[in-house]
Amino acid sequence: MRVAIAVDIGASSGRLVAATLKGKQLEMNELHRFGNAFMEKDGHDYWDIDALFKEILIGLKKAKAAGIHTCTLAIDTWGVDYVLLGASGERLHDVYAYRDERTVGAADRLHQNLIGRESVYAKTGIQELSFNTLYQLYAHDRGQLEQTNQILLVPDYLYYLLTGQKINEATNASTTQLLNLQTREFDLDLLQALGLKREQFAELTQPGTSLGGLKAELAETGDYPECSVIVAPTHDTASAVVGVPATTDRSWAYISSGTWSLLGAELSEPLNGDEPRKANYTNEWGAYGTFRFLKNIMGLWMIQEVRRENGESHHFAELAEWAEREEAFRSLVPCNDERFLKPQSMTGEIIAFCQESGQPVPDTPGRLARCIFDSLALTYLDAMRELERLTGQTYEVLHIVGGGSNNKLLSQLTADLLGIEVWTGPSEATAIGNIAVQLIAAEALADIRQARQVIADSFPPTICHPNQVNNRNHLLERWQRINQLTLKET
């Protein structure tokens, strides 16, 4: 029996999942799950990359113990974060987490001093987010960049630790904001502006490429299955979009809902004109030559933070249940305002905004959760309207995949506000998309179309039908006023 193992690591948790294709059904089995979070050291935020690698090895040991002797294996993680390697392949630094504040103001400085916003967008089609690798590298220690032999992104680095091979996987490389849409290569002007050379990056590698086996020192231990390592769409969002169970001919958009909510459409050509730039839409590269035309929305990070600040004493499901009992649209916050990117206290920041804007203060966990879900759903509405305007399409169905698709209240609110069907699940779309690419590479599935059919059959989505929203016009006017108070987007 062919087994495909996905290593899928997000900003708040990671997992190894094994899947087998039985007839037309995918059967999935979670092998190992672990937490992830950035940690502070000397005033900066870092990922514990060594701990993450150890978790991968623990998961692979569990796979072997569960009787998996041979498998294919692929890795995805969040985007943009990078690892600099020296001449002998050694890591030169701790791995910064993208919310680290050293990039505050870096985008403005780079655009003023080196190359304008408009040209960067025309070249890359990538939305401006303060933490794009372009800005992170600009804020990085110069001396260290000069010593750097190779720049890998986080999943590339994990592949390197597993196989000894250095690649720059294409979907994730596009999140650096250093790739040129025309040449489909690293943009030499941008590299030059950063003082970098093309040789400091590896070959751009497409998802589905085979990297051979584990490196000898791992394989020889006999602790792990014999792995045939495949390149996933290593950017988790790219894997999640492959995992969208879209099978009908109805036009569809998606939200990949996790720490971030990524709302967009799958396009065959990028849209990088003035209008998408002003709306801060991005053209991240997808698997199989597609583009993920999408927008980052603050997402479940807000509720994750509120929960953490509360000593993690409530489950997400419990918070959602309490939120459901609260009055709808009582207090609203502009989720995409920069102030919510990494506030000292998320709870404090939400309360402060409500006070400043003369709204009732959400003073219980249920009310805070309600405020976040209501505000996210309204932000989805705005982003969908922008998406429709920019692509000239009307979307009949919105798929919500990822962990956030378990949140029934948020999905129903979204359906109600958008007035279209919202199809939710699978919640493990990222791991499933990663696995689908392995199965296509192994020729067990023909293509993405067939993969999506199998995904839909194996994990049938739940459909939320839209209900009428009371006092809709009044609500939308209030929401508009609140957004006018927004100072700056992330």
Residue 421: CA count within 13 A, CB half-sphere: 11
Q: Pull the structure tokens for residue 456.
A: 């839909």
Work out whether 79 is an interface residue with ligand LFR (CB under 6 A). yes
Beta strands 44-47 and 397-401, pairing class: unpaired
> Which one of 234-242, 266-274, 449-457, 467-475 is the stretch in contact with ligand LFR (CB under 6 A)?
234-242
C-alpha distances out from residue 291 to 202, 274, 301, Å? 22, 18, 25
Catalytic residue, chosen from 45, 100, 236, 337, is 236
> Which one of 21-29, 229-237, 244-252, 460-468 is the stretch in contact with ligand LFR (CB under 6 A)?
229-237
Where are any strands of DSSP class E within 60-175? 70-77, 82-85, 95-96, 150-153, 168-169
55, 128, 169, 236: residue in contact with ligand LFR (rule CB under 6 A): 236
Length of the chain: 490
Closest CA to 134 of 183, 81, 94: 81
Residue 48 catalytic?
Answer: no
Residue nearest to ligand LFR (CB): 79
Closest CA to 153 of 83, 77, 49: 83
Residue 237 makes CB contacts below 8 A (sequence gap 6+) with 79, 256, 260, 262, 284, 292, 294, 430
Through-space distance between the first and last CA atoms of the chain, rounded to whole angstroms? 46
Site string for ligand LFR, 241-270 (x = CB under 6 A): -----------------xxx-x--------
4, 10, 362, 374: residue in contact with ligand LFR (rule CB under 6 A): 10
Q: In whole angstroms, what is the distance from residue 65 CA to residue 368 CA?
A: 44
Which residues sit opposite 397 in a β-bridge?
252, 421
Tokens 């998408």: give the residue.
276
Site string for ligand LFR, 101-130 (x = CB under 6 A): ------------------------------
| Complex with ligand LFR: residue 177 or 228, whichever CB lies closer | 177
CB-based contact 397:251 (threshold 8 Å): yes
| Complex with ligand LFR: residue 257 or 331, whichever CB lies closer | 257
80, 263, 341, 354: residue in contact with ligand LFR (rule CB under 6 A): 80
Smallest distance from the beta carbon of 222 to ligand LFR, in angstroms? 34
Smallest distance from the beta carbon of 62 to ligand LFR, in angstroms? 24
Site string for ligand LFR, 272-311 (x = CB under 6 A): ------------------------x---------------
CB-based contact 14:6 (threshold 8 Å): no
Of 386-425, which residues contact ligand LFR (CB under 6 A)?
none
Tokens 């087994």: give the residue.
3
Number of amino acids touching ligand LFR (CB under 6 A): 14
| Complex with ligand LFR: residue 298 or 445, whichever CB lies closer | 298
Interaction site with ligand LFR (CB under 6 A) = 10-11, 78-80, 98, 235-237, 258-260, 262, 296
